[in-house]
Amino acid sequence: MTATAVPSSASSTAARLVADLTAALGAENVLFNRDELVVYECDGYVIEKAVPDVVVFPTCTEDVVAVVKICNRHGVPFVPRGAGTSLAGGTLPVGGGVMIGLTKMKRILEINTRDRYAIVEAGVVNVWLTRSLVGTGVHFAPDPSSQTACTIGGNVATNAGGPHTLKYGVTVNHVRGLEIVTPDGEVVQVGGVVEDQPGYDLTGLIVGSEGTFGIVTKVIVNLSRDPEAGRTLLAVFDTVEDSVEAVSGIVAAGIVPAALEMIDNLMIRAVEAAFKFGFPVDAGAVLIIEVDGLDAALDHEAQAISEIVQTHRGKVEKSIGWRTREEPEYKAIWKSRKMAFGAIGRVSPTFCTQDGVVPRTALPHILRFMEGVSERQQVRIANVFHAGDGNLHPIILFDEQDPDQVRRALDASVEILDECIRLGGSVTGEHGIGVEKLAMMPKLFTPDDLAAMTAVHDALNPDGRCSPAKKLPIGGHCIERTKPGRHASA
Amino acid sequence: MNRQVQAPVWPDAPDAAPLGDDRCATRLHRPTTVDALCDAVREEVEQGGAVYPQGGRTALDYGRPPGRPGAAVDVSALDEVIDYPHADMTITVRAGMTVSTLRGILAEKNQRLLIDVPWPDRATLGGALATGVCGPRRFGLGRPRDSIIGVSFVTSNAVEVKGGGRVVKNVAGYDFPKLLTGSMGTLGVITQATLKVRPLPGASALIWLPVDDPAKLDERLAALASSALRPVAFDFLSPSAARLVGGPVGLGRDAWTLVVGIEDDANSVDWQVDRFRVEAERADFDVLRDDATAPLWTALTEFQVETPGPFACSASLRPSQVAAFLADLPAERWALQAHAGVGVVRMQALGEWGGDEAEAAIAGKRAEAVRGGGNLIVTRCPTPWKARIPVWGESRQDWALGRAVKRALDPEGVMNPGRFVGEDG
Ligand SMILES: Cc1cc2nc3c(=O)[nH]c(=O)nc-3n(C[C@H](O)[C@H](O)[C@H](O)COP(=O)(O)OP(=O)(O)OC[C@H]3O[C@@H](n4cnc5c(N)ncnc54)[C@H](O)[C@@H]3O)c2cc1C
């Protein structure tokens, strides 16, 4: 396609940009029609929107290099996007420019079970790798609830967690190396198939940097051995408070479950309506508690957990003993958990999934606090979260069409996150700062901390053209959010 | 008007403190507060000197020689516990605390650190993190970078900066904890860290199995990687390493030796030891249990800091390459320990070596490691050799990014100049 196909309203600079990108990638990999672009105006965070000028779909690293160089030549910003499941507006094209969609870079390049690594392109969906490893005895540990959609590049950028990261660690603990295209268009190999390489741990620095250090094109991930066996318990409680006290009790007893997830009544009902797994709809809360490892140790651990559950007035209603994570009953319970966010659509037209962290012993306190917030702000809050990590996901339900509700939902979020900070926690455990939480950063970090982070940002992204206005509140990009609505030029 | 400062010169005698590689500090600061540490850094920077952070001085010769005159900043007086919410399984401590003291504090709550550190009575947590040290249990427990969740450090601007936090999951801000781990004191003086800790295992066992035929090593390693056991460590020792490591605990025999470490609850450990007997198809191995394992864990951890000969290296390889890598190293010239599960090979040169001979041997094994995607660093050698032998290996492509990060946090090159990779010059 040539520049003449660009709508006449586009300025000639925009037309030249599109022409250059089209020449480099082919017309089939470049979108610039307004109605096609609207799909990309937001990700899983719907409160702010901005339409990119162009969306491109590179199919290889060289394509990414070409795109980045073109953007630099034209002086326009660019932002990487995987599956767009970010819940923090990480893919929002602030200031327009070019969105680089990685979904056509989807090859699994190598699987090496003996040396326990795999090399994948950034657009490989998390669960594809999981599926291709079934039966090999190893797996990729990070399993975000969005794993059927989100990309491994996105997991790297956000340092994603998931239910099973309690025992096994988050994405950064499972990445050995990266190939990135730097903001000035150079391809750099960071780390490698062997874990330690001399030099700074740049892999550790880049994982979780939310696209601000360049475009990740390949990822060398660590593969972990499958456990020999596991027990997955469903514990039922009358009240949320009892359930989280049990969580604190389990952790304090020195038990490190593979997963420890909490679902409250509002969510149980939504999930039951959607999946009919058999969760008790009258329960105040349920915990999904999983232990894994050698079979020889598991009965003892499961017994200890049952006792703690009983001490906190709960009851273990189901206990699934399994040998592989492919067993139907096992899959059913986790499907229900992981699809919970999807089920919430039955309860509310719009919702905002928050992400805060508290020390695990502070869970009872923060849950009581959230009940107070819900009453004060007159918004409903549902809970389904990674309790064992102290990682909350209050889901604040509101109607996008009602500005007052939107404001109250935002206020509720801020109140909850402020309390997380006060308790010594964090404003994000896994979803990222994105654009959503820029204003929270100065509450968590001192000006000196932020200056050091900014210095590192500026060293690796000197023009600030790569993922502008993400992660760090710099350059006056901290977006005013008291007037939510469409930020797009629409 | 600019104050004229005279650039410091290297002092001759170790009046103040050693810096490693036969260099001495112009001065020694031993601050007892972070503010005093900031003042010391400010003062040195104003005078145009460098800052050499120190903890227990157990690894001063690690890396390249100090690059320019400067003061030692000893962190060991900063040694308090800041916060130990043991029920959360995290601890925040000042960096100058020794690893033994930290272990003792954790043990009172039946918990432990997940890092094996040589000479823990002297080594400080800050030093362990700065060097990214690890030992045999890295296979099961991970690297220091996997334990650390928060860090504070004093930069060359003389301010304390933090990254991460005190909760186990946190993606706010850049991951300074990982960046500082293994940074060799070149980005700032680490003053505080928050770590994930874990319960002490209920039971442990170390299996010591002499192997008659080292040619079968790879087969054994492959079998272990897929065996029903879930060891936290499996090391392979050459005959002289077996003598060095096992001798003091009465196990040393001049034979290639496989060491398997198991930690879990008692049922699981019993089961695994039995299972090992079945899988190994023999019973002529020694098993140390529980408290009796401690001295052998220590010896396995401290092999890397032994000095049986003139120099030592550490190679990182793919586990599948370990056996071949060991095979062509003459057993009488090297004592070798492989943390076989993670592909780390510790190489202690034995006997007399000329510089040329050592250089050639290092270059050859380094090339072999690099071909397989790994690397080899020289962890100890006579200082004069360091002018010829690149101790960190040949330049890597990502060092350019590293240099940019270094310039961002330490624009004047004040922190541990000369020591680490990728510095200009
Ligand atoms: C229903 C639901 C459940 C979720 N559950 C979890 C969960 O359990 N745990 C969890 O951690 N998160 C969860 N998330 C959040 C989200 O799925 C994760 O953040 C995920 O890692 C994002 O991947 P993605 O491919 O969708 O990335 P995107 O949303 O496309 O992008 C996310 C960020 O990464 C950057 N990025 C993407 N690709 C690249 C690349 N190749 N190079 C550089 N930067 C890049 C983007 O610019 C953006 O800043 C959930 C989201 C939803 C909608």
pLDDT string in tens for chain B (425-residue length) = 445 567 788 888 767 799 999 999 999 999 999 999 999 999 999 999 999 999 999 999 999 999 999 999 999 999 999 999 999 999 999 999 999 999 999 999 999 999 999 999 999 999 999 999 999 999 999 999 999 999 999 999 999 999 999 999 999 999 999 999 999 999 999 999 999 999 999 999 999 999 877 778 888 888 887 789 999 999 999 999 999 999 988 997 789 999 999 999 999 999 999 999 998 888 889 999 999 999 999 999 999 999 999 999 999 999 999 999 999 999 899 999 999 999 999 999 999 999 999 999 999 999 999 999 999 999 999 999 999 999 999 999 999 999 999 999 999 999 999 999 866 43
Say if CB B296 and CB B246 are below 8 A apart: yes
Q: Kindly indicate the confidence band of residue A486, based on its pLDDT and cuts at 50, 70 and 90.
A: very low
Q: How confident is the model at residue A350 (pLDDT cuts 50, 70, 90)?
A: confident
A196/B317 Cα distance (integer angstroms): 9
B326: helix, coil or strand? helix
| C-alpha–C-alpha distance, residues B149 and A424, integer Å | 13
Q: Model confidence over A374-392: pLDDT tens digits? A: 999 999 999 999 999 999 9
Gap from CA of A471 to ligand 1 centroid (Å):
14
Give yes or no: residues B257 and B353 share one domain: yes
Q: Could you tell me which of B340, B336, B360 has the C-alpha nearest to residue B349? A: B336
B42 and B101 in a single domain? The answer is no
Please give the structure tokens belonging to residue A165. 């990261």
Average pLDDT, chain A: 92
- Per the structure block, which two tokens stand in for A287? 């915990």
**Is B424 part of a structural domain of the chain?**
no
Which of A145, A156, A386 should be mutated for ligand 1, with most atoms under 8 A from CB? Answer: A145
Are residue B174 and residue B301 in the same domain, yes or no?
no
Full-model pTM? 0.95
CA–CA separation, A41 and A236 (whole Å)? 41
Q: Residue A471 in contact with residue A212, Cβ under 8 Å?
A: yes
- B422 belongs to a structural domain: no
Q: How many CA atoms does the CB half-sphere of B424 hold within 13 Å?
A: 7
Span A39-93, pLDDT tens digits? 999 999 888 899 999 999 999 999 999 999 999 999 999 999 999 999 999 999 9
Q: Is residue B5 part of a domain?
A: no
Report the C-alpha gap between B47 and B44 in whole angstroms.
5
Residue A480: is its pLDDT beyond 60?
Answer: no
Q: What is the number of other CB atoms lying within 10 angstroms of the CB of residue A435?
A: 28
Tokens 């360091």, located at residue? B386
Measured CA to CA, the distance from residue A433 to residue B90 in angstroms comes to 23
Torsion of the alpha carbons at A370, A374, A379 and A382, rounded to the nearest 10: 40
- DSSP, residue by residue, A91-113: T--TT--EEEE-TT---EEEEET
Nearest to A40 by CA among A55, A56, A18: A55
Residues 6+ apart with CB under 8 A from A345: none
Tell me the two tokens of residue B395: 């330049």
Are B87 and B40 part of one and the same domain?
A: no
* Pairing outcome for strands A391-392 and B18-20: unpaired
From the CA of A143, give the closest atom in ligand 1.
Answer: 8
CATH superfamily for A229-324+334-422 is FAD-linked oxidase, cap domain/gating helix (3.40.462.40)
**Atom of ligand 1 minimally distant from the CA of A79:** 47
Burial class (CB in 10 A: 0-12, 13-18, 19+), A281: exposed
What confidence score (pLDDT) does residue A475 get?
65
B299 lies in the same domain as B387: yes
Domain boundaries, chain A: 8-103+454-486, 108-225, 229-324+334-422
Distance CA A250, CA A31 (A): 51
Helices (H) and strands (E) in chain A, counts: 16, 20
Q: Are residues B133 and B225 in the same domain?
A: no
Residue A111 corresponds to which tokens in the numbers above? 């699987």
- pLDDT value of residue B12: 81
Q: Tell me which of A65, A81, A355, A437 to substitute to probe ligand 1's pocket, judged by most ligand atoms within 8 Å of the beta carbon.
A: A81
Whether B92 and B104 map to the same domain: the answer is: yes
- Ligand 1 — pocket residues by CB below 6 A? A 43-44, 79-87, 90-91, 102, 122, 144-146, 150-151, 153-155, 157-158, 160-162, 210-211, 215-216, 341, 430-431, 467, 470
DSSP reduced 3-state for A262: strand
Nearest residue in chain B measured CA to CA from A197 = B375
Residue nearest to atom 33 of ligand 1 (CA): A90
Tokens representing B164 are 């991460």
Question: Residue with the nearest Cα to atom 44 of ligand 1?
Answer: A211
Q: Does residue B217 sit in the same domain as residue B93?
A: no
Tokens of B423: 């510095």
Q: At what angle do helices A12-25 and A61-74 cross, to 10 degrees?
A: 160
Q: What angle do CA B82, B86, B90 make, to 5 degrees?
A: 65
Instruction: Determine the Cα–Cα distance for residues A376 and A153; give it in Å rounded to an integer.
Output: 39
What is chain B's percent helix, strand, coil content, to nearest 5?
Answer: 35, 25, 45
Residue nearest to atom 11 of ligand 1 (CA): A160
Residue B417 lies in a domain: no
The residue contributing the CA closest to ligand 1 atom 8 is: A144
Mark yes or no for CB contact B142/A173 under 8 Å: yes
- At A334, the amino acid letter reads W
CB pairs under 8 A between A and B: 250
- Domain for residue B2, yes or no? no
Tokens linked to A408: 């109250």
Contacts of A155 (CB under 8 A, 6+ apart): A126, A142, A144, A171
- Residue A432 is nearest to which of B171, B226, B372, comparing CB atoms? B171
Q: What is the mean pLDDT of residues A101-112?
A: 98
C-alpha B199/C-alpha A167 separation (Å) is: 12
Please state, in angstroms and rounded to a whole number, the distance separating the CA atoms of residues A295 and A274: 33
- Residue A158 at interface with chain B, using a CB cutoff of 8 Å: yes
Say yes or no: B68 and B89 in one domain: no
Please indicate, yes or no, if residue B425 is contained in any of the structural domains.
no
Phi, psi of A127, rounded to the nearest 5 degrees = -70, -20
Q: What CATH number corresponds to the domain at position B297?
A: 3.30.70.2190
Q: What is the assigned CATH class of domain A108-225?
A: alpha beta
What residue of B is the nearest CA neighbor of A195? B316
Same domain, B172 and B294: no
Q: Which amino acid is at B421?
A: V
In the reported structure, the alpha carbon of residue A437 is separated from the centroid of ligand 1 by a whole-number distance in angstroms of 15
pLDDT, position A3? 39
Other beta carbons within 10 Å of A12: 10
Q: How far is CA B256 from CA A2, B221, B246, in A?
A: 69, 13, 12
Token digits for A73?
């030549």
Cross-strand pairs, B334:
B349
Strand partners, A80: A100
DSSP of B344-401: EEEEEE-S---HHHHHHHHHHHHHHHHHTT-EEEEEE--GGGGGTS-TT-SPPTTHHH
For residue B296, give every residue at least 6 positions away whose Cβ sits within 8 Å of its Cβ, in sequence order, or none. B206, B208, B245, B246, B249, B251, B259, B288
CB-nearest partner of A441 from B173, B181, B408: B173
Protein residue whose Cα sits closest to atom 2 of ligand 1: A146
Which residues are CB-contacts of A147 (< 8 A; sequence separation ≥ 6)? A125, A126, A127, A130, A162, A338
Which residues of A are less than 8 Å from B167 in CB distance?
Answer: 357-359, 390, 424-426, 429
In sequence order, the 6+-apart residues with CB closer than 8 A to the CB of A430 are A144, A158, A159, A160, A161, A162, A170, A355, A386, A391, B169, B171
pLDDT at B253: 78
**Partner-chain contact B268 A293, CB within 8 Å:** yes
For residue B74 the two structure tokens come to: 């000893």
Query: If DSSP codes are grouped into helix, strand and coil, which group holds residue B270?
Result: helix
Contact check, Cβ <8 Å, A182/B344? no
By CA distance, what is A430's nearest residue in B?
B171
Does the pLDDT value for residue A484 go beyond 60?
A: no
Tell me whether residue B9 is in a domain.
no
- Protein residue with least CA distance to atom 53, ligand 1: A85
Q: Which residues of B touch A455 (CB under 8 A)?
A: 408-409
pLDDT at position A482 is 37
Fold for the domain defined by A8-103+454-486: 3.30.43
Q: Do B166 and A358 touch (CB under 8 A)?
A: no
Residue B404 Cα to ligand 1 middle (Å): 27
Task: Give the residue from A110, A155, A201 with the most B CB atoms within 10 Å of its CB, the best one to mutate.
Answer: A201
Nearest-CA distance from B66 to chain A in Å?
17
The structural domain count of chain B equals: 3
Q: Are residues B176 and B234 in the same domain?
A: no
Q: Decide: residue A321, CB within 10 A, 0-12 exposed, 13-18 middle, 19+ buried.
A: middle
Do residues B189 and B205 both lie within one domain?
no
Residue A476: per-residue pLDDT:
54
CB contact under 8 A, B173 and A445: yes
Token pair 């949320």 in the structure block, residue: A240
pLDDT greater than 70 at residue A10: no
Contact A398, A379 (CB under 8 A): yes
What pLDDT does A9 receive? 47
Q: pLDDT band at A340, cuts 50/70/90?
A: confident
Spatial CA neighbour of A384 closest among A260, A280, A255, A290: A260
Q: What is the CATH number of the domain that holds B138?
A: 3.30.465.10
Domain that holds residue B287: 201-410
- Domain boundary residue, one of B199, B230, B263: B199
- Helical residues (DSSP H) of B181-237, grouped into ranges: 217-225
Name the closest-CA residue to atom 27, ligand 1: A154
Most confidently predicted of A326-335, A352-361, B184-193? B184-193
Residues in chain A: 490
- ∠ CA B221-B226-B231, rounded to 5°: 75
A459 vs B90, B173, B404: nearest CB:
B404
Per-residue pLDDT tens over the stretch A433-453: 999 999 999 999 999 999 999
Burial of A328 (0-12, 13-18, 19+ CB in 10 A): exposed
What is the per-residue pLDDT across B254-291, written as a single tens digit (0 to 9) for each? 899 999 999 999 999 999 999 999 988 888 899 999 99
| Distance, CA of A48 to CA of A479 (rounded, Å) | 9
